[in-house]
Amino acid sequence: MKASAREILLIKTGELALKGLNRGTFEAILMKNLRHRLRPIGPCVLRKAQSAIYVEPQSPSFDMDEACERVAKVFGIAAYSRACVVSKEIRAILEAAAEYLEDDLLAAKTFKVEAKRSDKAFPLQSPAICEQAGEYLLERYPHLRVDVHHPELLVMVEIRDFGAYIHARQLPGAGGMPVGSAGRVGLLISGGIDSPVAGYMMAKRGLELLGIHFASPPYTSERAEMKVTSLLEQVASYAGHIELQIVPFTRIQEEIQRTCPEDLFTLIMRRFMMRIATQIGRAEGCGALVTGESVGQVASQTLAALACTDEAAGLPVFRPLIGMDKEEIIAVSRRIETFEISIQPYEDCCTVFTPRHPRTRPKLEKLLEAEAALDAQPLIDEALANVRRVSV
């Protein structure tokens, strides 16, 4: 590539652009998220204009492959491409296209040029740009043929605010909304397959995640906590920074086991989780709680059981996996690379205290009756006083 041509990342914002009034705020959040995600790679300048964001590396050691990998996981982006930027002069554009895309042009048999002129001050109209670029490339690469219907290589020339951009491969972005643009939610994360996927899905809708994990040492090990941290680290590659609060749950579980009928253990335990998560969520500015439940997956996820769980929550409970099959959930967890971590065999607090015959059609009165035998609030207060915070 010539010294006058530079390589940048050209990012297209998608759904964002539809947000009318809030567009400015949304773009500002996306820019902040992108900066945060790209900072570890090295210095770069971000500029925005016309529903696009330009990432301009400021050092030759800036790793573009790594930058692309990171950008591909940032929500609020419709598409992105590595592009070469040159001055808005047709000669410079033609030469840059031939050189920057040399490998692709040599490897292809057919191609087509597409031009977009958002800067209307540029003297040539799009069809003229396509025509000149097509001719020039045919001359430089005589083995090529133009195929307007099914080209192997699509050469894009975009005349925009800050320069002319040439690229050949636009890749789909992660979609969704920028994390933080829709508020914050408390994610009940267990260490299983489902809850990290649920967190990923809500982050995609622009929600910042606060992780809440219930741990029952010594029944659950430190390794189980490390597993939750690793899962959140992986989710954070999409969701950005996540704070995790670890709630000591042993006393509560032992008290439930001591005083309540065995067939109600799981549900009473889940109701305690909801009460505690509600208090944490309210204190931390969360507008809702999120779980990885899906209808009928286990005894605690029948309609009746879910209703009993909800009754104990003081915030809306979002269950993004509610209508998904396990296979579908696993497919997402493989794609976001949480699956291999989730299947590591460390005990969860629920597995340790699972009753032999859990109720699938619980009655709320029975639960309330059983809970009356417990002195709930001091137990909850004690758990809340001993929460540990971990930054992921």
Q: Does 348 bind ligand ATP (CB under 6 A)?
A: yes
Which CB, 204 or 270, lies closer to Mg ion?
Answer: 270
Which CB, 76 or 192, lies closer to ligand ATP?
Answer: 192
How near is the Cβ of 75 to ligand ATP at its closest, in Å? Answer: 21
Q: Given candidates 27, 158, 194, 208, which one binds ligand ATP under the rule CB under 6 A?
A: 194
How near is the Cβ of 333 to Mg ion at its closest, in Å? Answer: 13
Q: Given candidates 94, 108, 193, 341, which one binds ligand ATP under the rule CB under 6 A?
A: 193
Q: Does 225 bind ligand ATP (CB under 6 A)?
A: no
How near is the Cβ of 179 to Mg ion at its closest, in Å? Answer: 24
CA-to-CA distance for 147 and 86, rounded, in angstroms? 26
Output phi, psi for 387, to 5 deg.
-70, 140
| Residues forming beta bridges with residue 7, ordered by sequence position | 84
Q: CB neighbours (10 Å) of residue 34?
A: 24
Contact letters (x/-) for ligand ATP, 297-326, by CB under 6 A?
xx-x--------------------------
* From the list ligand ATP, Mg ion, none, partner contacted by residue 349 (C-beta under 5 to 8 A by kind): ligand ATP
Site for Mg ion in 162-201 (CB under 5 A): 190, 192
CA-to-CA distance for 343 and 334, rounded, in angstroms? 11
Please say whether the beta carbons of 88 and 23 come within 8 A.
no
Q: Given candidates 213, 227, 271, 359, which one binds ligand ATP under the rule CB under 6 A?
A: 213
> Mapping DSSP to helix (H, G, I), strand (E, B) and coil, where does residue 326 land?
helix
Sign, CA torsion 366/369/370/375: positive
Through-space distance between the first and last CA atoms of the chain, rounded to whole angstroms: 39
Which CB, 83 or 273, lies closer to ligand ATP?
Answer: 273
* From the list ligand ATP, Mg ion, none, partner contacted by residue 213 (C-beta under 5 to 8 A by kind): ligand ATP
User: Which residue, chain included where needed, has tokens 């982006």?
Assistant: 77
Q: Does 192 bind ligand ATP (CB under 6 A)?
A: yes
Please say whether the beta carbons of 264 and 312 come within 8 A.
no
Q: Given candidates 76, 134, 176, 292, which one binds ligand ATP under the rule CB under 6 A?
A: 292
Sign, CA torsion 98/100/103/104: negative
Please say whether the beta carbons of 50 and 11 come within 8 A.
no
Residues in contact with ligand ATP by CB under 6 A are 188-190, 192-195, 212-214, 273, 291-293, 297-298, 300, 348-350
